[in-house]
Structure 1
Amino acid sequence: MVSMPVAAHADWQPVEQIKTYAISGTTGAGLYQSIGERGPAAGNGQVIAHTTFKLTWTRKYEVQPDKSCKITVARPKLIIIYTLPKPSSALSPAVQASWQSFISGVETHERWHGGTIKEMVKQIEGYSLGLSAADDPQCKKIRVTLQQRLGELSGYQRQQGRDFDKVEMGDGGHIQGLILKLVNGP
């Protein structure tokens, strides 16, 4: 029998990093072409930008007097990495304005993904802290229960991202609109 967890302590903060890759071009179309040539690999090809994360945990499993096992510490260390394109040389004022509008929208999109990652970690923390399993003096049952739930939460977060990207990048989507404005601009 697994008991329900207690509320998590929100005494941690994620670390957010922005990594860039160099692109070249003097027009919106040239910059976008360079993104296509140099963008990071993700899924089945290259993308404009992407969000990844590194997540590690400090957990303490304690055997209780009744031989149950309880998680008494569940503290995450989360690093979210946003990878974005960056022009390698100065742009004309008109192209710079167009670029700024484009990259701002792309970063907003990526930070939405970062938000789902943060939410997933909070859910994992909330589920983990105080979780216990009866008759588990080796703290093995609790780990199986925890891993099953982690898989569910991770799968849900990934599906949210796929659903969001499908809308944002589909016909008439926000990212498609940003691309068209950049390519058709100065």
Structure 2
Amino acid sequence: MQFFTKACIAAVCVLFAGSASAEVKVSVKRKNYDISGSNGPALLDAMDRRGPKHGFLTRAIAQTGYTVGWEIEWAMANGTCRVKNATAELAITYTFPRVANRLPPDLDRRWTRFMKGVRKHEETHGTLARQMVRAAEREVAGMSMRNDPDCSKSRRAVKRKVAAIYADYEARQVQFDGKEHRDGGRVEGLVDALLRSR
């Protein structure tokens, strides 16, 4: 049986004119789904049945999703279009399991350690998403293009640059998951520790 701790939602880039500031705005939402069980295998089985979807046929233990929206203010002078201000808004949603029943003391301790590792894993995905948006903002800030009086070429250029940065950071997300989920990796260690009884 396979277990996954992350399913990344592709970031959505929306570009439109408006007022803007110079920092990334981040909102974080945490959701839970309830499970129950009196031992490690039962808890893992419940997560496999009730966890957030990971693809069509599998479910994850936990999940980090994010969307990105942009506000860009353009300045035009003498046929040159320039990005005057750019503000990105990053919305991160974490989904975690929550045990609804009371656990025996030893299992409760193992569950607490397990969830500490799961949260650390998901929050690393959140950190990568923050880094992605900051990198995109830095790339977009101050961009200018001559002979573009309606800013149409500039808008396309911004979208291309942002999309390239998103692709780079999505590759980093996948690389991080590959390291964490490999045989003998941290995720396997977390699952084994939860299953282990004393």
Please, what TM-score do these two structures have when normalized by structure 2?
Answer: 0.84
Report the counterpart of residue 50 of structure 1 in structure 2: 63
Which sections of structure 1, spanning at least 5 residues, go unmatched?
1-8
Please, what TM-score do these two structures have when normalized by structure 1?
Answer: 0.90
The aligned amino acid for 2:173 is: G
In the aligned structure 2, how far is the partner of 1:185 from the partner of 1:144? 57
Report the counterpart of residue 88 of structure 2 in structure 1: 76
Report the counterpart of residue 17 of structure 1 in structure 2: 29
SS state at 1:74 partner: strand
In the aligned structure 2, how far is the partner of 1:150 from the partner of 1:13? 17
User: Cα distance, 1:93 vs. partner?
Assistant: 1.7
1:161 aligns with 2:161: no
2:22–2:86 contact (8 Å) kept in structure 1:
no
Question: How large is the Cα RMSD of the aligned pairs?
Answer: 1.5
Aligned length: 177
Which sections of structure 2, spanning at least 5 residues, go unmatched?
1-20
Matches within 5 A, 1:79-90: 79-90=91-102
SS state at 2:69 partner: strand
Matches within 5 A, 1:50-129: 50-64=63-77, 66-129=78-141
In the aligned structure 2, how far is the partner of 1:140 from the partner of 1:70? 11
Structure with higher RCO (Cα < 8 A, 6+ apart) = 1
Report the counterpart of residue 173 of structure 1 in structure 2: 185
* Cα distance per residue 1:1-55 (max 9 Å; x no partner): xxxxxxxx75444122211111111111111110011111123521111111121
Report the counterpart of residue 150 of structure 1 in structure 2: 162
User: Cα distance, 1:92 vs. partner?
Assistant: 1.9
